């Protein structure tokens, strides 16, 4: 009988094991109990990170005892712990299989924080492969790939924010999101430095939330974080997990929410990570028609497996619980929902009813959203979903996916398509700028101008528009005024707030020097003022998800490239938005205002301080009983908001 055969024989029955190396213990400090095994097998362990992975044990006075390790690898012949502590020798610390669950355990004395480790797994065919811990809560700095033993000693200072969040209703609140790639916002900053510079900047610009492209550890930087290898570890590129907590805490104390991009759709094929973890397709589907993504060269999770769904739901909960995250934006939902996504005929398998819907992925998304909302009131679960799938933001009890918001990709594409036409041709495409209102309340929408629109040869936002330099900048300012008035929450990718010239390049960061030039600084000021006005006007957000919060005034002036509408608050207070997407000013434009009173401009993107032409309106009175129409000045390529005094 081999060494490993003798080691693992009868251990599940609790017989004494005489083959454990000195300093290693089987069960005294196990993180798993009978209930844990049951919940894991059912796929219902909502705090999976508490029982799997590496857990430091200390005695009553805080002195280190050692670390307990556990990993799920049901088809492995043997598993050993390797790392700094044993010179990466798989013969030193073999692990023991715990019952029939497929979980392997070991406790190693005197091993503590900052120890690098992996699990050496002997596959069915006898091959040994070293894998990072799927439940690792810290990692080595890429390109190194080991997991790191860690524990949190962080004391949070955001209790006021967290208490207030319990009663927060985001669909009835101002939500203006600044989308950030942490590595290229200002290259070289750590989490601690971001806690100073990013917080101050977001406050200055008036955004309500920051959304980070995936912070979860990823070895390949050009993936921007979307090829995740550690679903429970913040990337070590910018500091430790507790230093990331410090950043979140600083944002909260400044009154800024934090949203993370979360990627449950796929994972990379790196052999040291999740791929063929125990020598079999454990986390992924074995059949490539279900288990491989043809476009991205990645593997697709086996959403039908209890343990895999548990792993992903626990990952979502981990960020919300352990890092006080206020929302998760779920990436690539469309790729999860359709079995034939980006596949040709014969390259996919239908579901049990013969359809193209991925029923197991639907179940995973419903579990993730419902469980997240159950435990964390006031958060946002946001879907990046680009198809006509019905009920994305419908409650799971009504067979919806249960998200709080869905990115309105249709609005984004139609609006940018319209604005890329020469103004003289826009009259023939007026439906592109008005069509979104026809479905604006079919879901709870967020309007995105995201990173996807300024990469891969698409150029920056400002350079998508026709005309000379002044017209491009004016169009961008007008777009922001229109977007912030349109029903739906707002999201803007970093750099576009000051009209970055180049498309985004994560290798070089943003063109911050441009803000020293008046034309770019003007756009930056305009957006800051729009944000501040938006937050102060309940009409612009209280009734976002209700059709009676919106009323057309002018929807058919295609020849003038102009549209006007009213936004209403709960108390019936109106704000009128007028946008002129032509380069010609409209003097004495007839505008039918909804109520009598004195009206004034609250936003005008053509203001001289923004680099505009300075066509503005003085306050004016109107009596709708005697004169239905006011005569106003509408600047060229500009948006104006009017409020009643």
Q: Are 486 and 439 in contact (CB under 8 A)?
A: no
Paired with 122 in beta bridges are: 78, 128
**Whole-number Å distance between alpha carbons of 31 and 47:** 12
Among residues 36, 331, 414, 432, the one annotated as catalytic is 331
Burial of 428 (0-12, 13-18, 19+ CB in 10 A): exposed
**Whole-number Å distance between alpha carbons of 563 and 554:** 5
Q: How many CA atoms lie within 13 A of 161 on its CB side?
A: 20
Helix or strand (DSSP H, E) at 513: none
Alpha helices by DSSP H, listed for 43-174, are 159-165
Model confidence, pTM: 0.94
First to last CA, the chain: 89
384 is catalytic: yes
Q: Taking the mean position of all CA atoms in its chain, how far away is CA 531?
A: 21
331 is catalytic: yes
Q: Are 595 and 574 in contact (CB under 8 A)?
A: yes
Which whole-number Å values give the CA distances from 104 to 192, 246, 527, in the listed order? 37, 34, 54
Q: Give 399-404's long-range contacts (Cβ < 8 A, gap of 24+).
A: 401/333, 401/362, 401/365, 401/366, 401/369, 402/365, 402/366, 402/369, 402/370, 402/373, 403/330, 403/365, 403/369, 403/444, 404/170, 404/171, 404/327, 404/369, 404/373, 404/379, 404/380, 404/444
What SS3 class is residue 133? Answer: coil
**Whole-number Å distance between alpha carbons of 284 and 266:** 9
Q: Which residues 6+ apart lie within 8 Å of 396 measured at CB?
A: 366, 369, 370, 402
**Which domains, and CATH codes, for the chain?**
3-148 (2.60.40.10), 222-407 (3.20.20.80), 547-644 (2.60.40.1180)
Low-confidence stretches of the chain (pLDDT beneath 50): 1-26
Peptide linkage before 212 cis (omega within 30 of 0): no
For the record, the structure tokens of 153 come out as 């000693």
Q: What angle do CA 538, 542, 543 make, to 5 degrees?
A: 130
> pLDDT at position 624, please?
79
**Whole-number Å distance between alpha carbons of 76 and 307:** 16
Count Cβ atoms below 10 Å from residue 142 Cβ, excluding itself. 15
Q: Give 510-514's long-range contacts (Cβ < 8 A, gap of 24+).
A: 510/184, 510/185, 510/186, 512/186
> pLDDT at position 28, please?
76
For the record, the structure tokens of 95 come out as 């692990």
Which whole-number Å values give the CA distances from 395 to 173, 206, 390, 398, in the listed order? 20, 31, 12, 5
Paired with 178 in beta bridges are: 210, 492
> pLDDT at position 27, please?
61
Longest dimension (CA), the chain: 101
Burial of 143 (0-12, 13-18, 19+ CB in 10 A): exposed
Q: Are 533 and 480 in contact (CB under 8 A)?
A: no
Locus of tokens 């000021």: 525
Helix or strand (DSSP H, E) at 579: strand 574-580
Alpha helices by DSSP H, listed for 52-178, are 159-165
Among residues 307, 384, 497, 643, the one annotated as catalytic is 384
pLDDT in tens, 172-205: 999 999 999 999 999 999 999 999 999 999 999 9
> pLDDT at position 29, please?
86
């Amino acid at each position: 009988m081999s060494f490993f055969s003798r080691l693992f024989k009868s251990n599940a029955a609790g017989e004494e094991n005489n083959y454990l190396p000195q300093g290693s213990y089987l069960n005294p400090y196990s993180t798993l109990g009978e209930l844990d095994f049951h919940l894991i097998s059912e796929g219902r362990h909502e705090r999976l990170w508490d029982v799997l992975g590496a857990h430091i044990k200390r005695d009553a006075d805080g002195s280190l005892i050692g670390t307990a390790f556990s990993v799920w690898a049901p088809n492995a012949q043997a598993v050993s712990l390797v790392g700094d502590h044993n010179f990466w020798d798989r013969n030193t610390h073999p692990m023991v299989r715990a019952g029939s669950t497929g979980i392997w355990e070991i406790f190693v004395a005197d091993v503590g924080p900052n120890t690098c480790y992996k699990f050496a797994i002997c596959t069915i065919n006898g091959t040994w492969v070293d894998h990072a811990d799927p439940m690792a809560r810290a990692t080595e700095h890429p390109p190194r790939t080991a997991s790191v033993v860690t524990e949190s000693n962080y004391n949070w200072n955001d209790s006021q924010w967290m208490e207030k969040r319990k009663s927060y209703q985001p669909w009835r609140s101002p939500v203006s999101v600044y989308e950030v790639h942490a590595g290229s916002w200002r290259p070289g900053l750590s989490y601690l430095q971001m806690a100073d510079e990013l917080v101050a900047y977001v406050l200055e610009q008036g955004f309500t939330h920051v959304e980070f492209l995936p912070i979860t550890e990823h070895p390949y930087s050009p993936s921007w974080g979307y090829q995740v290898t550690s679903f429970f570890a913040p990337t070590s590129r910018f500091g430790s997990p507790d230093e990331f907590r410090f950043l979140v805490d600083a944002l909260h104390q400044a009154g800024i929410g934090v949203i993370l991009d979360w990627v449950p759709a796929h994972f990379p094929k790196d052999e040291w990570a999740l791929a063929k973890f125990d020598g079999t397709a454990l986390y992924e589907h074995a059949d490539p028609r279900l288990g491989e993504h043809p476009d991205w060269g990645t593997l697709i999770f086996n959403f039908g497996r209890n343990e895999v769904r548990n792993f992903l739901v626990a990952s979502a909960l981990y960020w919300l619980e352990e890092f006080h995250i206020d929302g998760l934006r779920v990436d690539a939902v469309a790729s999860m929902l359709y079995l034939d996504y980006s596949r040709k005929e014969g390259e996919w398998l239908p579901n049990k009813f013969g359809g193209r819907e991925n029923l197991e992925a639907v179940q995973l998304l419903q579990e993730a959203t419902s469980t997240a909302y159950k435990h964390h009131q006031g958060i946002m679960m946001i879907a990046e979903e680009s198809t006509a799938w019905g009920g994305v933001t419908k409650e799971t009890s009504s067979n919806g996916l249960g998200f709080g918001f869905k990115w309105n990709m249709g609005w984004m594409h139609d609006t940018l398509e319209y604005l890329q036409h020469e103004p003289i041709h826009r009259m023939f495409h007026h439906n592109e700028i008005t069509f979104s209102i026809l479905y604006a309340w079919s879901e709870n929408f967020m309007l995105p101008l995201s990173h996807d629109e300024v990469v891969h040869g698409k150029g920056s936002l400002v350079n998508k528009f026709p005309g000379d330099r002044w017209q491009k900048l004016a169009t961008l300012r007008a777009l922001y005024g229109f977007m912030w008035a349109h029903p739906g929450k707002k999201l803007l990718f970093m750099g576009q707030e000051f009209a970055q010239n180049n498309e985004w390049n994560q290798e070089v960061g943003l063109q911050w020097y441009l803000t020293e030039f008046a034309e770019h600084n003007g756009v930056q000021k305009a957006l800051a003022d729009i944000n501040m006005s938006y937050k102060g006007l309940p009409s612009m957000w209280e009734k976002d998800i209700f059709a009676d919060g919106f009323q057309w005034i002018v929807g058919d002036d295609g020849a003038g490239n102009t549209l006007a509408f009213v936004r209403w608050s709960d108390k019936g207070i109106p704000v009128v938005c007028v946008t002129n997407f032509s380069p010609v000013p409209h003097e004495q434009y007839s505008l039918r205002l909804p109520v009598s009173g004195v009206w004034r401009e609250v936003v005008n993107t053509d203001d001289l301080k923004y680099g505009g032409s300075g066509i503005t309106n003085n306050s004016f009175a109107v009596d709708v009983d005697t004169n239905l129409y006011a005569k106003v000045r509408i600047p060229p390529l500009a948006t104006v908001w009017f409020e009643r005094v």
